[in-house]
Amino acid sequence: MLWRSRTERTGEPAAWMVVGLGNPGEEYAGTRHNLGAVVVTMLADRLGGSLRRSRELALSCEVHIGGQRVALALPQTFMNESGQSVGRLVRRHGVDDPSRIVVVHDELDLPVGSLRVKAGGGLAGHNGLKSITAHLKTQDYVRVRIGVGRPPGRRSGADHVLRRPPKAEAAELAVVVGEAVGAVEAILTEGVDATMGRFNAGP
């Protein structure tokens, strides 16, 4: 398995790694597909972290929460190559257990504004998750899923997630992004099961 290979880590390993998925570049800013990156950026700001470009094809930093060292990262590959960055980040930060990797991403199969926490499981056609799974050779990482809903009419899912939402939907998504930040913090401090009990109880 990838995370059992020789690590480039020279200091204390991180207890957790949190990855926010999105596409790099201004043309993708504000699109539905970049919600995961927004969540991790907000989390870094809240915890006093400074995301900086790294050799792992990412913007990354380390912060402390609940006495634990936590790596935060935004892959700077395009979405369907996210695993290239995550694989390198795993080695860099010494995260040995896939259940200690949290991936925050948009989810077509959830209604707009909904939030779910999931440990392992399927990929729901998400290209970022497919790439991460291919590089880590496991699906056993944690996901924080932000609902963006299916597109109306004949519009494709790919087109839908690469668009910026209209004003009313954007306001709804801004609320759930804040909730997702709280969900990630809860995972890091209370554990995955307790967090699922809190955040998966809604409609």
DSSP 58-115: EEEEEEEETTEEEEEEEE-S-GGGHHHHHHHHHHHHT---GGGEEEEEEETTS-TT-E
Q: Which helix (H) or strand (E) holds 167?
A: helix 167-190
Catalytic residue, chosen from 33, 105, 135, 160, is 33
Residues 6+ apart with CB under 8 A from 60: 51, 52, 54, 71, 72, 73, 74, 89, 92
Catalytic: 105? no
Looking at the annotation, which residues are catalytic?
A: 33
